[in-house]
Amino acid sequence: MQRLYDFLRRHPTGVDTFWAVFLLGISLVGITVPDEGRGTGSEAVIVPVVLLLCLVVALRRRMPEKMLLLAGALGVAQLVLDVAPTPANFAMLVITYTVAATGARWASRLALAVGLCAAPLAQLRWPENESSVLGTIALMIFTTVPFALAWVLGDSIRTRRAYFAQLEERATRLEKEREAQAKVAVAAERARIARELHDVVAHNVSVMVVQADGAAYVLDSAPDQAKKALETISSTGRQALAEMRRLLGVLRTGEHQEGGEYVPQPDVEQIDDLVQQCRSSGLPVDFKVEGTPRPLPSGVELTAYRIVQEALTNTRKHGGPNAGASVRLVYFDDGLGLLVEDDGKGAPHELYEEGGADGRGHGLIGMRERVGMVGGTLDAGPRPGGGFRISALLPLKPAH
């Protein structure tokens, strides 16, 4: 049934032609039946009028304005040639509806005017023999109503289609704006990550320079201290190279850090300070570390800190007044696991859908970008029992 419906929608002219042929058959049968009220027009005139009226039905959707003018001309010809209405005149109702629904505005107004005049003119041209004046007037009104209803129905369809088209256009525009905002958010977050990674690399290089100067100073007097300094330089250099590789390909805005000095970015150890800050602001947070802590790449430490920071910020914003949170750091053999959960009312689904919506959800966009930068995975969404849950797995690479 659906395939048949789709076929009919793809071939509207074929459907209209079918009904035109059906109307032609009924009209031709009516012509052969003797009728004293048919008028004086001969069959040589009636048949072409009927054929053209059926053509109006067949081509009503392909050229509605032209078919309206043709139907109006045929109506005038019937009045002039005394060709009384036949079943084919149903085409005038059909073209009135079609033009009101899909035609130009001028054609719609013309169809209404022609429809309101057609029935009264027909009653005046071919009056009922035994009908009184009041009866004739009532019949005029009765036969005019279908034309008015056809036009009103068509105009309502036009208004409804315009409304849905406006909704579709608005939805399309909002979708494009949403994509643009998501791209801007991603670009801004990548620029911010680039600045932070730049600071991490600069800090590591500064450490290497200091250690190298110290090693050169004590190289002869304290070889053991010089060796330890060189090991620190080697370890720090490997970390700096790893961060620089991740930095490549990330666009930077070119903003300069105030003061010209580079400071180390937050690391995993400072998560405890972050939790204490949240507790002092009134958010109960349970913080636990599982596994054996070990040295981490600076980018991984920064990513872990920012994820916890953003998750706790979201809890304060969306969890409600009585929300509580828990933070778990788990050191695996080959990765660092992060789990941040709260028992609040949870965030709206627009915030954790990919890309956010209407300018929101950029915090989670930042999380995904950060995790992607270090080759990890992130999962964010509502908890089954209520609240919100963010889990991440960050790969651990040896610091030495």
Q: Mind listing the pLDDT tens digit for each residue in 369-399?
A: 888 888 899 998 888 878 889 999 998 764 4
Beta-carbon count within 10 A of 281 CB: 10
Q: Half-sphere exposure of residue 28, counting CA atoms within 13 Å on the CB side? A: 11
Which CATH number is associated with domain 174-260?
Answer: 1.20.5.1930
Integer angstrom CA distances of residue 319 from 372, 378, 385:
26, 20, 14
Residue 95 vs residue 126, higher pLDDT: 95
pLDDT of residue 164 exceeding 80, the answer is: yes
More confident residue, 118 or 43: 118
DSSP 268: G
What's the token pair of residue 140?
């005029």
Q: What does the block give as tokens for 187?
A: 């670009």
Tell me whether residue 342 is exposed, middle or buried, using C-beta atoms within 10 angstroms of its C-beta: 0 to 12, 13 to 18, 19 or more. buried
Q: Which CATH architecture is the domain 268-395 placed in?
A: 2-Layer Sandwich (3.30)
pLDDT at 226: 82
Confidence of residue 183 (pLDDT cuts 50, 70, 90): confident
Q: Sign of torsion, CA 229 232 238 242? A: negative
Mean pLDDT of the chain: 81
Helix (H, G, I), strand (E, B) or coil at 264: coil
pLDDT-derived band at 67 (thresholds 50, 70, 90) equals: very high
Q: Alpha carbon 121 to chain centroid distance?
A: 53
pLDDT band at 242 (very low <50, low <70, confident <90, very high): low
SS3 content of the chain, % helix, strand, coil (to 5): 65, 10, 25
**370, 323, 318, 328: which is closest to 342 by C-alpha?**
323
Percentage of residues of the chain with pLDDT beyond 90: 29
pLDDT in tens, 76-104: 998 888 888 888 999 999 999 999 999 89
Q: What is the largest CA-CA distance in the chain?
A: 136
Question: Which residues are bridge partners to 357 per DSSP?
Answer: 360
Q: Are 84 and 39 in contact (CB under 8 A)?
A: yes
Q: What is the DSSP letter of 63?
A: S
Cβ atoms of 335 and 395 within 8 Å: the answer is: yes
Query: Would you give the DSSP letter of residue 282?
Result: T
The sheet carrying 377-382 orders its strands as 285-290, 325-331, 335-342, 388-395, 377-382
Predicted confidence at residue 261, as pLDDT, reads 43
Check residue 264 and give its pLDDT. 55
Average confidence (pLDDT) over 250-264: 46
Tokens representing 376? Answer: 């990890």
> Cα 140 to chain center, whole Å?
52
Closest to 336 in 3D by CA, of 385, 386, 388, 299: 299
- 64-81 vs 105-125: helix axis angle to the nearest 10? 20
What are 378's strand-pairing partners?
392
For residue 47, give the DSSP letter: H
Query: Tell me, what DSSP letter sits at residue 205?
Result: H
Least confident of 82-91, 126-135, 289-298: 126-135
The confidence score (pLDDT) of residue 353 equals 54
> Six-digit token pair at 146?
């279908």
| Residue 311, CA atoms < 13 Å, CB-side half-sphere | 34
Determine the pLDDT at residue 237.
76
Q: What is the DSSP letter of 347?
A: -
Q: Give the 3-state secondary structure of residue 333.
A: coil
The pLDDT value recorded for residue 170 is 93
Closest by CA position to 313, among listed 270, 266, 275: 275
Strand pairing of 285-290 and 325-331? parallel
Find tokens 């620029």 and name the residue. 191
Side chain identity at residue 5, one-letter code:
Y
pTM score, two decimals? 0.50
Distance CA 115, CA 119 (A): 7
Rounded to whole angstroms, the Cα distance separating 367 from 334 reads 21
d(CA 359, CA 178): 7
Q: Where do the structural domains in the chain lie, given as residue ranges?
A: 2-126, 174-260, 268-395
